[in-house]
Amino acid sequence: MASILRSRLLLAGIALGLASTAIHAQTRVRGTITGADGKSITVDGRTQVLLGDKTDIVFAQPIALSEIKAGDFLGVTSMKRADGTLTAVEVRRFPKPLNPGHRPFDGRDDQTMTNATVSATVQSTNGRELTMTYDGGAQKIIVPPEASISALVPGTKAQLVPGAPVNLTHDASGVVLRLQVGPKR
């Protein structure tokens, strides 16, 4: 009886380990859609991924910087200048908080991601400055006029057209888990 219980526990542990590995085996892809057929998309002519029944598609609807207010939850991708100042490249308003914090982005020391709540906005000589707060910290980020600013809204497969920029994650089998698409350039 004890050996059967040990065997079952061992099998359960192996299954849990495999499931955990599958959950974490995700790949990020960024680029421009170069092909789409409703069931898959090709990014930059080299990476083809599949659209599944559970693929979450969000659209980056362009908005004006003036629409960003204190209390909004944003995801801001920034470049870090030599003096440590953060300058926004992309500003995304999320419908709800998602993964709050501040961290390096895409494994680069000069690029960061800050997911946080806007606590203040100020006009500065370099652009508009956002103060972003999250548990354990705050960041001041300059938003220059050329930064991409949008609100994430539900998207559709119809928006997946050649020329549209995408940022997606897919699993080990190539099925897209989450896909952010922007307006066709």
Q: What is the pLDDT of residues 86-102, one digit of tens each?
A: 999 999 999 889 899 99
What is the pLDDT, as a whole number, of residue 19?
42
Q: Which residue has the higher pLDDT, 84 or 24?
A: 84
Q: Is residue 108 part of a domain?
A: yes
Name the pLDDT band for 37 (thresholds 50, 70, 90).
Answer: very high
What is the pLDDT, as a whole number, of residue 42?
97
The domain total for the chain is 1
DSSP code for 71: T
What is the pLDDT, as a whole number, of residue 123?
85
| Mean pLDDT of the residues in the chain | 87
Q: Is the pLDDT of residue 126 over 90?
A: no
Q: Is residue 35 part of a domain?
A: no
Prediction pTM value:
0.75
Q: Is the pLDDT of residue 21 over 80?
A: no
Q: Is residue 56 part of a domain?
A: no
Name the pLDDT band for 24 (thresholds 50, 70, 90).
Answer: low
Q: Is residue 32 part of a domain?
A: no
- Residue 144: give the domain boundaries: 64-149
What is the pLDDT, as a whole number, of residue 11?
36
Q: How far is CA 3 from CA 8, 9, 16, 78, 156, in A?
A: 9, 10, 20, 55, 52
Q: Is residue 3 part of a domain?
A: no
Q: Is residue 161 part of a domain?
A: no
Q: Is residue 139 part of a domain?
A: yes
Q: Is residue 100 part of a domain?
A: yes
The whole-number average pLDDT for the span 110-138 is 91
Buried b (16+ CB within 10 A) or exposed e, 75-100: bbbbebeeeeebbbbbbbbeeeeeeb
The whole-number average pLDDT for the span 65-71 is 94
- CA-CA-CA-CA torsion for 8, 13, 15, 21, nearest 10 degrees? -170
Structure token pair of residue 31: 């680029």
Q: Is the pLDDT of residue 185 over 70?
A: yes
State pLDDT tens for residues 74-84: 999 999 999 98
